[in-house]
Structure 1
Amino acid sequence: MDTAASELPHIVCLLRDSLPLEQDDVSVCFDPARFARKTNPAQEQAIDSQWRRQCRQNPRLFNGSKFRYAGLRWTGAPQLQLGLTSYREHIGTNCRAGQRLLQEAGAAVHGDRQAFLADPLGVGALLLTADNRLAFVRRALWTGEYPGRLDRPGGHAEPDELPRAELAEPAAVLDEVFESVRRELRDELGVPLTHLSRAYLTGVLRDRDMGGRPTLEFVVRCSLPSSELERIYNEGKHAEADESLGLVFLTRLELFSDSCVIRVPELDEVDAECPGVAREAAVAPAAADVNCTGPERDDGAAVHHCEEEQAGEAAAHAEEPKAPAAAGPPVRGKEAPKKRRRNKKDKKAAAAAARSEAAQPAGTGEAGGPRLRSESLANNVSSQLVASDAALADATSSSADAVLPSAEPGNPASAADAGDTQESLEAALARVELGSAAAETDEIVVVQQNGVVLLKTGEQVTETVMPTAPLSGQIETLAEVVNNPEVNAPEGADAATAEKSVEEAERERKAKLWEEMTPACRGSLMLLKQVQLKGFVFRF
């Protein structure tokens, strides 16, 4: 199994002697002013525009206060550096297309790639049932992040659970972080808190696709078997029943044994750090995932301001010589130096550098100083985001009628639009074979939810109106076959597939689940693989 590095998060392993950490092993430094997100007026305008547009597309979105993760610090034990942010800022920074530009501006202005991003602290948990199965959820298609993907239950720690969060004591904040994990398991799966053990911390993940959005990963034990947990989940009485489509159970043997169905990579195969182990071995500060600013540590070591790869990028940009004004062709008879082919990241970096130079006041040159050029870069990036928001808003408004046609009676134009919608949905249904092929390719999935049709192509979900009743029946049939391919096998299935045993078919189906998992779910499994659970006692 080969998994691209971009599909895996950056991992910081916090295990101690291959065991997860209890709440008493962790501390919190809570300072809303010191660990707040850096701002400027142009960026705030871009955030506001992005939030309004997302709320129009998904009315279920609502703003709420979140803890902002500013980094990890070691003072004999891991210490979480936390401030305050909001879900609105998360949507406008980590979830927007220009997140990498914001990271480059943060590195240039503040020496911290995450300075301009919200980075709300997420929590996720792998739930181990009484019969040693791990529970996963299939995310609903309406969710804003990774719709339809397989994930572990999780969410965010909520400052609103504390009275006057901005004045909260660090101990109260730490209680909320650990208790929020159990609360998310109750709300997403329906399991009562009395059947859940304490939460044990395994590490920190940063999702590359979400601008380095951080999550704390935990493992929790459930006193119920998987059959009882599935029964409670299927009753649908829990608070967040609409956020997932179903449960998937995998045993630890299927994931971590020599005869595993899914090969979970080792930490040394990917971009992972074990700062606690490094400190014990070298008695020196580890190159951990530390992005916070402030005074020196208690042990006298200076606080790191950026990740190791961020420092490498800054050094590379600083040492890169400027190209001559006019470069002539290579001299005949001498071999010209090979030029590395530029990828998309190089082109974006070059374009950002060119725009920052163009925005610099004329005549300043080097005398303008790096601070002036950095501020120009940050303002230029924010202006680009505002411009892109305006262009996207115009494009959305111009195509709104085509995506969501009005079906008012007596309106010929709306009737024609509805007919076009009917034809497009029928064409989509015609392209999808009813059966396991639809579940394997996942090119287009059509599902009916509350009278609305959702067309999903890869990671893109398009919403349109529900046409006539006959097509609605086809959509329900397709959704049933897609969700249960092994039960609703097509009559024209290959002979080889029909001859396979039930065990072989189930094994092949589970082997493909790794590709359906979110990056955070994969990272959490990689952390759990390092945990020595034999003999470990979960306290309830």
Structure 2
Amino acid sequence: MDSEVSVMLHCAPAQGFEEHQVQVEISRRFNRRSVPEIEKHIETVWKERVTKEPWLFNGAKFRLHSAELFTTPPQICTDTPSTTKTAQADKQLTSCGEGEHASQTERHTSSVKTNIEKSSCCREAAGEPQKDVRPSEANKAILRLQLGLTCYKDFLGTNWSEEAMNLQQRGRLEVGDPQAHLAQPLGVGAVLLTSDGQVVMLRRSQRVAEAAGLLDIPGGHPEPKAVCQGVSEEDINVDLMQGCERAVVAEIFSSVCAEVRDEVNIPLSSLSAPVLMGIALNHTSAGRPSAEFYIRCSLTMEDVKDFYQRGGPEAHESTDIVFLSKAEMLQLDVKLPLWSELCPSAKGAVLLYQLVRPDRS
């Protein structure tokens, strides 16, 4: 087992969470726990980094606090927010802490809110990739994410700080949650499969701050500013997100496609609708969570390589494109030399792909 990464949760084999199967709950309760001495440490770390790298800028991110997995009866449909549906469900609560499954099963009554009114900050997802009918229509599981807000500055001063382990210990002792004082920004990543069965990976540039020179999957972060359009980064807050829950889910799903477009330089129209395989934790950054998706591409390996070599908006982040067959993806483990070339986010995506096999009918 690789100590750099673990799986927080995953969907059922041969399936995946489609956008309508994911819900979010946004609250200040899910923000990072703040105490004066930690805030002072964050400010110190930020000032030091900006002095060395003056091009850095802060930005709001979604913070993953925990996740609830509901398994609903097959006759219950939960993909229409305009209709109230109430059903008994088996609920599994998973906290985002150190890769451990803090889970318990109980009977739970869930309901979908009716006629959600969106505030002026909400927006609909634009430039959607092509629609795709998945076998997961038979899968009525619902994933609910508990989200707060955080920022890049807080990430550098907590998850990415030399004090990360001490912060985890403090959270464990004070509130029983090792991640309570950490930023925990939610990332996204894509296992991208070409039409001829090749998985796309990118060789990270030596100039990037994290995992330089290693193989990675396309990915990044969903952006709160995409939901709160017209609001400055420093003014984005949880209150502005109330009533925008579906827009937040849309941003999570659309952001992974946007990252593929920008990093691989292929058109959105060539991508299937993303399917969420699960959430992986990166322990080189104190258990930072990333939602890992499976996306099919209508282009061949050669087509994708050609688009990539033309250079896209984020071409500076990688130096080469690498392709692995599905068989190679399934065989990858810590015993193979290639495993050591993968950055933690790619390792998490590989583990989830092997567990879920969303392309297996």
TM-score by length of 1: 0.50
Kept in 1: contact 2:13–2:355 (CA 8 A): no
Query: Which of 45, 48, 57 is the matching residue for 1:53?
Result: 48
Look up the match of 1:254.
328
Deviation of 1:532 after TM superposition, in Å, equals: 3.9
Look up the match of 1:95.
160
Matched, 1:24 2:99: no
Identity of aligned residues (%): 37
Deviation of 1:534 after TM superposition, in Å, equals: 5.1
Look up the match of 1:113.
178
> What one-letter code is carried by the residue in structure 2 that aligns with 1:114?
Q
Matched, 1:74 2:139: no
Q: Tell me how far apart the structure 2 counterparts of residues 13 and 43 of structure 1 sit (CA, whole Å).
A: 29
Look up the match of 1:525.
350
Query: Which of 28, 38, 42 is the matching residue for 2:37?
Result: 42
Q: Tell me how far apart the structure 2 counterparts of residues 73 and 37 of structure 1 sit (CA, whole Å).
A: 19
SS in 2 for 1:34: helix
Q: Tell me how far apart the structure 2 counterparts of residues 532 and 5 of structure 1 sit (CA, whole Å).
A: 20
Kept in 2: contact 1:102–1:113 (CA 8 A): yes
Look up the match of 2:121.
none
Report matched runs for 1:141-180 at 5 Å: 141-163=206-228, 166=238, 167-168=240-241, 169-180=244-255
Report matched runs for 1:284-363 at 5 Å: none
Q: Tell me how far apart the structure 1 counterparts of residues 7 and 256 of structure 2 sit (CA, whole Å).
A: 19
Deviation of 1:263 after TM superposition, in Å, equals: 4.3
Deviation of 1:224 after TM superposition, in Å, equals: 0.8
User: Whose radius of gyration is greater, 1 or 2?
Assistant: 1
Kept in 2: contact 1:149–1:516 (CA 8 A): yes
SS in 2 for 1:248: strand
Q: Tell me how far apart the structure 2 counterparts of residues 60 and 234 of structure 1 sit (CA, whole Å).
A: 27
Q: Tell me how far apart the structure 2 counterparts of residues 70 and 143 of structure 1 sit (CA, whole Å).
A: 27
Look up the match of 2:292.
217
Equivalences, count: 281
Query: Which of 268, 278, 283 is the matching residue for 1:203?
Result: 278
SS in 2 for 1:172: helix
Unaligned runs of 5+ in 1: 266-510
Kept in 2: contact 1:19–1:531 (CA 8 A): yes
> What one-letter code is carried by the residue in structure 2 that aligns with 1:142?
R
Kept in 2: contact 1:136–1:150 (CA 8 A): yes
Query: Which of 3, 6, 13 is the matching residue for 1:6?
Result: 3
Kept in 2: contact 1:14–1:21 (CA 8 A): no
Q: Tell me how far apart the structure 2 counterparts of residues 124 and 99 of structure 1 sit (CA, whole Å).
A: 23
Matched, 1:244 2:241: no
**What root-mean-square deviation, in Å, do the aligned CA atoms of Structure 1 and Structure 2 show?**
1.8
Unaligned runs of 5+ in 2: 72-141
State the Cα deviation string for residues 481-510 of structure 1 (Å, max 9, x = none).
Answer: xxxxxxxxxxxxxxxxxxxxxxxxxxxxxx
Kept in 2: contact 1:255–1:264 (CA 8 A): no
Indicate how the Cα distance of structure 1 residues 177 and 230 shifts in structure 2: closer, same or farther if over 3 A, else same.
same
Q: Tell me how far apart the structure 1 counterparts of residues 318 and 221 of structure 2 sit (CA, whole Å).
A: 16
Deviation of 1:107 after TM superposition, in Å, equals: 1.2
Query: Which of 11, 14, 17 is the matching residue for 1:15?
Result: 11
Which of the two has greater strand per residue?
Answer: 2
SS in 1 for 2:278: strand
State the Cα deviation string for residues 260-280 of structure 1 (Å, max 9, x = none).
Answer: 5x4479xxxxxxxxxxxxxxx
SS in 2 for 1:214: strand
Query: Which of 179, 198, 205 is the matching residue for 1:133?
Result: 198
> What one-letter code is carried by the residue in structure 2 that aligns with 1:20?
G
Q: Tell me how far apart the structure 2 counterparts of residues 533 and 121 of structure 1 sit (CA, whole Å).
A: 22
Q: Tell me how far apart the structure 1 counterparts of residues 51 and 317 of structure 2 sit (CA, whole Å).
A: 19
Indicate how the Cα distance of structure 1 residues 131 and 62 shifts in structure 2: closer, same or farther if over 3 A, else same.
same
Look up the match of 2:138.
none
State the Cα deviation string for residues 175-232 of structure 1 (Å, max 9, x = none).
Answer: 1111110011111111111111111001111111101111101011111111111111
Q: Which has the higher contact order (CA 8 A, sep 6+)?
A: 2
SS in 2 for 1:185: helix
Q: Tell me how far apart the structure 2 counterparts of residues 116 and 38 of structure 1 sit (CA, whole Å).
A: 5
State the Cα deviation string for residues 95-116 of structure 1 (Å, max 9, x = none).
Answer: 0111000001111122211111
Q: Tell me how far apart the structure 2 counterparts of residues 180 and 91 of structure 1 sit (CA, whole Å).
A: 22
Look up the match of 1:187.
262
State the Cα deviation string for residues 353-403 of structure 1 (Å, max 9, x = none).
Answer: xxxxxxxxxxxxxxxxxxxxxxxxxxxxxxxxxxxxxxxxxxxxxxxxxxx
State the Cα deviation string for residues 398-454 of structure 1 (Å, max 9, x = none).
Answer: xxxxxxxxxxxxxxxxxxxxxxxxxxxxxxxxxxxxxxxxxxxxxxxxxxxxxxxxx
> What one-letter code is carried by the residue in structure 2 that aligns with 1:198?
A
Kept in 2: contact 1:161–1:176 (CA 8 A): yes
SS in 2 for 1:197: coil
Kept in 2: contact 1:150–1:513 (CA 8 A): no
Q: Tell me how far apart the structure 2 counterparts of residues 194 and 512 of structure 1 sit (CA, whole Å).
A: 35
Which of the two has greater helix per residue?
Answer: 1
TM-score by length of 2: 0.74
Look up the match of 1:405.
none
Kept in 2: contact 1:140–1:245 (CA 8 A): yes
Q: Tell me how far apart the structure 2 counterparts of residues 80 and 69 of structure 1 sit (CA, whole Å).
A: 7
Deviation of 1:255 after TM superposition, in Å, equals: 2.8
